[in-house]
A and B are shown apart, each in its own frame.
Chain A
């Protein structure tokens, strides 16, 4: 029947316009005001010849200002919705959305009246004006009163539009339907395993959330003093929690990811902040549940583990999770720790006769085991260079102190090498320990040395210094290092792109583990970076770069970071392969197979390093 009619009307073009306004059926359900600043106009419009209709709303002014040029555009969002009742009434069987919902931003201070507005419904170039109803105040409770036949997704879309326009004001709409915790639990369930607060930084939240029917429109964390998080349903990492699905059979599809973690940045978070979790359902109900956080202080080992435990480094979302949640959370933990820690209470002990006006200072941090000191000193005793060397051991491990100091005393009685011990009272990390040592170094030139490095013959320091004097633009210089079996440990450092870990740049020691005859070695080689295990650098240059960066966690990437910083400033780094020292690098567990939290920390460091230096590295390795 419809087809017949269309044919007839198409033939008679002049009557078409009239026919549009006759054929189109429009109904206004409600004209509402939300909180004075937003209007909501909802209803339906149907035309048998069109799949869709357009809506237009104009401000035509109040009677007082009708003469002014204030007439004009309003900001509004149009939403088309499913109206099964309309479909049924017109025996319509397609999938058009005849419902409409206009969310209007009302910028005027006067209360709105329906005569201030002109709404037209149109298709092609034909239109019809729609008569609006008088505006009434809408409360949260009545917001969705006219949305009975909408699909849930459409309600959620309206909420989204409200968020877009009103921000967190949505939660403050008077009269929102309140959901008690028990009502809420009949829809969704959740448990927070950890709520780690880092004052001044934010909150790391992890646990699980079971919303199998997708009832929630948003999940927001707020402080009672009015800071809101973003919608955590969108700003969170989700992962499989089979145990949760098994504990709540039938509540969610088998592939539902109940696991949840996120980082909520809250730069104004105070230590005693009261926190609430807002669960906002798509039906417009609001559940407010208080949550109790625990503040993280200096000891962040456990907190770091909690942050990392569910971080899947193989997943497709690995990079964005690192960027959005893991990276900022770890960075906050560590910077808060540094802030809380007092300046180290430094203790300096001199063993043997102090070296006056030394030619260089050698800095050796000690952590975990200290017997290396004996082995180094036994070798240094035979080396004339050490008569002019300020040897500084930085004890970076409070657990060792009691046994270490008598050990130093005995050693100095038996081996005539002068050395200092500097103790900062606590573990400062690799970078921190070196920086502390350098602060007390009195020579112009530095050698940063690992404790597990043993020279292969005497005189290495002065020979290296001699060679350095003929090099250009010298940044950092390092010798060749070999393992105990004579295979290469270090002949320079470069970078390799890890496809497996989202194109992170990882430090690489070319030729590592190879016998020397398998590696191309020149006596002087430039290298994008060199190892920190044995590093020659002038104190002025070291200070100009602010030393080793202490933001890397658990000792990693500091050496390449320093090298890249200097490289960017135009300095060059060299490996002197005629000098050989042994580096008894610890047996490292295969980091890339053992995916424990320490591995993830390394990945975090790599990520930080890549963020900083990725583009420079690309130029260097090309």
Chain B
């Protein structure tokens, strides 16, 4: 079919870190390989390299690790610019990709995008947007700094400077100008949610340069509903993901605390979450305190390998996604759907877009443990419509359909 050479750039390799973006990028790469396409996966790593080289390989000589880093997270500046204009440029020159698809620029630097245009003016340049990094300097979350987790609806240099007192409006003005100067070089942006497209459209990316492609899921046999003991309700809830202030685990635990005692006896929450140790002491204490209060009601499991997700999903009736930030298209929603599990999610952003209230799951008011409590009661109560909701779940996009859609935009 095509003579494409597709370079996929990812900010991490799933063998090292299993963020949604890394996994999505890698799935795409593996699918292109499976299709017999000429493709290379370039993944940034923070591990030291042999002999100080910029590159090494992993698994095969088409999976190249890029040992580089970023020095400035405000302007996304490469911490080793020579890696960009020497090593990365040499790779581009040698491989001559017809498509360069960035699944991220974080940890590597926006200069990489610039460099593709410098060296390969005709290559198709595609960037997948995973958060609101370009728009928001608060880790791209569009949530105001501070404990209240106030949602942010729109950025502007003056508003942003209010969030960051040590920076001026002029700093944010320059930041926006700079990032847009790089984004202007991009032919096509991919976003896995319409919500994110709307935000970037409001920020200034032309609508026609953006396309929604949901992350692809592996094709699996949908597992049967969890077998119930006699008289048992659909009361097994599960949380998947990082335990950090943006993910709303505290809201979740508080909601379980608010449940009436007789209900508490009928439900259970499994938390499959990583990285609690990496959080602030204050946050850790809060979570551990809540866990202690809840006792047997909640089990804190550690992180999990991606191949374990099926087994873990099978043991759940409901998956809860209580994020207090907008999210984009959380992988866990697609994974839950792929395994036939309905969701309870916050009523904002990517969650409200992907989960239809009372059709494929339930909504609750963002950040409100009381509202979440109500949703839990509804989900596990006697008049629970679990069966109906589970049967409404849409079949997620498969990896191969996802690759197909991407091929469509690679042609330009």
Task: Enumerate chain A interface residues (CB-CB to B < 8 A).
Answer: 483-487, 489, 509, 511-520, 583-591
Known: A514-B55, A516-B61, A518-B91. A589 touches B50 (CB 8 A): no
> Assuming A485-B56, A487-B55, A487-B56, is B61 touching A517 (CB within 8 A)?
yes
How far does the alpha carbon of A489 sit from the alpha carbon of B91 in the complex, in Å?
16
Instruction: Give the contacting residue for A483; candidates B51, B87, B91; CB below 8 A.
Output: B51
Complex CA distance for A580 and B36, rounded to whole angstroms: 29
Distance (whole angstroms) from the CB of A409 to the closest CB of chain B = 32
Are B94 and A513 interface neighbours, CB within 8 A? no
| B57 A486 Cβ-Cβ under 8 A | yes
Contacts of A487 in B (CB 8 A): 50, 53, 55-57, 61
Determine which of A513, A517, A518 lies in contact with B49 in the assembled complex, contact meaning CB atoms within 8 Å: A513
Whether A585 pairs with B58 at a CB distance below 8 angstroms is no
**A514 x B50 contact (CB < 8 A):** no
Nearest CB in chain B: distance from A72 CB, A: 64
Q: Is B333 an interface residue (CB 8 A)?
A: no
With both chains docked as a complex, state the minimum distance between the C-beta of A119 and any C-beta of chain B, in angstroms. 65
Q: Find chain B residues with CB under 8 A from A486 CB.
A: 57, 61
| Residue ranges of B at the interface with A (Cβ–Cβ < 8 Å) | 48-58, 61-62, 64, 67, 87, 90-91, 94-95
If A509-B53, A587-B49 are given as contacts, then 12 extra A-B residue pairs at C-beta distance below 8 Å, sorted by A number, are A483-B53, A487-B55, A489-B50, A512-B53, A513-B50, A513-B55, A515-B64, A518-B94, A518-B95, A519-B94, A588-B52, A590-B52
**Contact A483–B94 (Cβ < 8 Å):** no
Which chain B residues lie closer than 8 Å to A483 at the CB level? 50-51, 53, 56
* Contact A587-B64, Cβ < 8 Å, known A486-B57, A487-B56: no
Query: How long is the Cα–Cα vector from A513 to B91 in the complex, in angstroms?
Result: 11
Q: Complex: how many Å from CA A146 to CA B64?
A: 78
Bound complex: CA A517 to CA B56 (Å): 13
Q: Given A485-B57, A485-B58: A586 and B51 within 8 A (CB)?
A: yes
Give A487 to B67 CA distance when docked, in angstroms.
Answer: 14
In the bound complex, how far is the Cα of B62 from the Cα of A516, in angstroms? 10
Instruction: Compute how far the CA of A9 lies from the CA of B194 in the bound complex, rounded to whole angstroms.
Output: 94
A503 to chain B, nearest CB (A): 15
**Interface pair B95/A513, CB less than 8 Å apart:** no
Is A587 within 8 A of B48, CB to CB? yes
With both beta carbons as reference points, the residue of chain B lying nearest to A488 in the complex is identified as: B53
The 9 A-B residue pairs with the shortest CB-CB distance in the complex, in nearest-first order:
A513-B53, A515-B61, A585-B51, A513-B55, A512-B53, A588-B52, A483-B50, A485-B57, A518-B94
Residues of B contacting A489 with CB < 8 Å? 50-51, 53
Chain A contacts for B64, CB-based, 8 A: 514-515
**Which residue on chain B has the smallest CB distance to residue A508?**
B86
Tell me, in angstroms, the Cα distance from A586 to B62 when the chains sit together.
Answer: 24
Q: How far is the CA of A513 from the CA of B54 in the complex (A)?
A: 6
A296 to chain B, nearest CB (A): 31
Q: List 23 A-B contacts (CB under 8 A).
A: A485-B57, A487-B53, A487-B55, A487-B56, A487-B61, A489-B51, A509-B53, A512-B55, A513-B50, A513-B53, A513-B54, A513-B56, A514-B55, A514-B64, A515-B61, A518-B90, A518-B95, A583-B51, A586-B51, A587-B48, A587-B51, A588-B48, A590-B48
| Residue among A512, A514, A589 making CB contact with B48, cutoff 8 Å | A589
Measured between alpha carbons, how far is A515 from B91 in the docked complex, in Å?
10
Question: How many whole Å from A460's CB to the nearest CB in chain B?
Answer: 21
What A residues does B52 contact at CB under 8 A?
588-591
A514 contacts B91, C-beta separation under 8 Å: yes
**Bound state CA distance, A323 and B48, in angstroms?**
33
Question: What's the least CB distance linking A219 to chain B, in Å?
Answer: 40
Cα-based distance from A515 to B51 in the complex (angstroms): 15
A589 CB contacts on chain B under 8 angstroms: 48, 52
How far, in angstroms, from A518 to B7 measured CA to CA in the complex?
Answer: 13
Cα–Cα, bound, A513→B53 (Å): 5
Give chain A residues whose Cβ lies under 8 Å from the Cβ of B94.
514, 518-520
- Contact partners of B57 in chain A: CB under 8 A: 485-487, 515
A487 to B94, CA, bound (A): 15
A461 to chain B, nearest CB (A): 24
A485-B57 Cα distance, complex, nearest whole Å: 6
Closest to B54 in A: A513
Nearest CB of chain B from residue A584's CB, rounded to whole Å: 8
- A585 surroundings in chain B (CB, below 8 A): 50-51
Across the interface, which residues of A come within 8 angstroms of B95, CB to CB? 518
Q: Could you say which of B48, B57, B95 has the most chain A C-beta atoms within 10 Å of its C-beta?
A: B57
Neighbouring A residues of B54 by C-beta, 8 Å: 512-513
In the bound complex, CA of A114 to CA of B401 (Å):
108
Complex alpha-carbon distance, A483 and B55, angstroms: 11
| Docked complex Cα distance between A112 and B284 (Å) | 92
Closest approach, in angstroms, between the C-beta of B96 and any C-beta of chain A? 11
